[in-house]
Amino acid sequence: MNLKRSNFTCENQFIEEHFPFIIKSISKVTKRYVSIENDEEFSIGVLAFHEAMKKHSEDKGPFLPFANLVISSRIKNYLLKENKHRLDPSLESLKEEGIEFSEEIINPIEDRDHLKDEIENLKLYIKEFGFDFEDLVDDAPKHKKTRENAINLSEKVSEEKPLVDFMYEKKRLPIKRISLQFNVTEKIIKGSKKFIITVIIIFDKNYRNLKLWIKR
């Protein structure tokens, strides 16, 4: 069926008649049923269908295949944008417990299962140091600059094998040695020691997915 803009005596009626087609086109991308009442994808699909009506011409071939392409493209763009800004539930739980994450993804997380494994492993490691994620709420730096400084310090420490070995063996930070080596007061280190230990582990164990999210 080749449709022209002049044939649309009532655009709204034409669009409503093709709701099933729009839903089917969306579902091919989302892999799930789309609700007319509640899903944002449906609204985007309707707008895309209307866009196709305006842009369609004879040289673009039959209308419905063309409309399907436009709908598919707009839904994919929407899903990519949503996935970029939506934190994984596991990451949300970490954020609630005091570890901030970047809103801008440098590289996408490649495997959510690996991410969950990293978080579970991290929980086990910090438990050996006598604290858990809940303790990070009080211990994590509250100011952005302070947090950035703590993360930078943690990364530097993670690259010093003697300091890291001491930390794992003694189950505590070598505060005095870190203070002298990196010219940071012991008071600052003690104020965020649980947070620093956690971030050192993230860098030392090369938890790639967590490193992509943590705010640097």
Mean per-residue pLDDT of the chain: 81
Q: What pLDDT does 85 receive?
A: 47
> Would you place residue 173 in the very low, low, confident or very high pLDDT band (cuts 50, 70, 90)?
very high
> Would you place residue 2 in the very low, low, confident or very high pLDDT band (cuts 50, 70, 90)?
very low
Q: What is the dihedral of CA 35, 40, 44, 45, to 10 degrees?
A: -20
84 neighbors 111 (Cβ within 8 angstroms): no
25 neighbors 73 (Cβ within 8 angstroms): no
Q: What pLDDT does 93 receive?
A: 54
75 neighbors 30 (Cβ within 8 angstroms): yes
Q: What pLDDT does 5 receive?
A: 45
Domain residue ranges of the chain, discontinuous segments joined by +: 5-85, 89-213
- One-letter amino acid for residue 24 of the chain: K
Residue 137 pLDDT > 70: no
What fold characterizes domain 5-85?
A: Rna Polymerase Sigma Factor; Chain: A (1.10.1740)
Residues ≥6 apart with Cβ < 8 Å to 73: 48
- Out of 57-61, 90-94, 143-147, 212-216, least confident range: 90-94
DSSP string, 109-137: -S-HHHHHHHHHHHHHHHHHTT--HHHHH
Q: What pLDDT does 102 receive?
A: 46
Higher pLDDT, residue 90 or 120: 120
Higher pLDDT, residue 199 or 135: 199
3-class SS of residue 86? coil
3-class SS of residue 202? helix
Phi, psi (deg, nearest 5) at residue 19: -55, -45
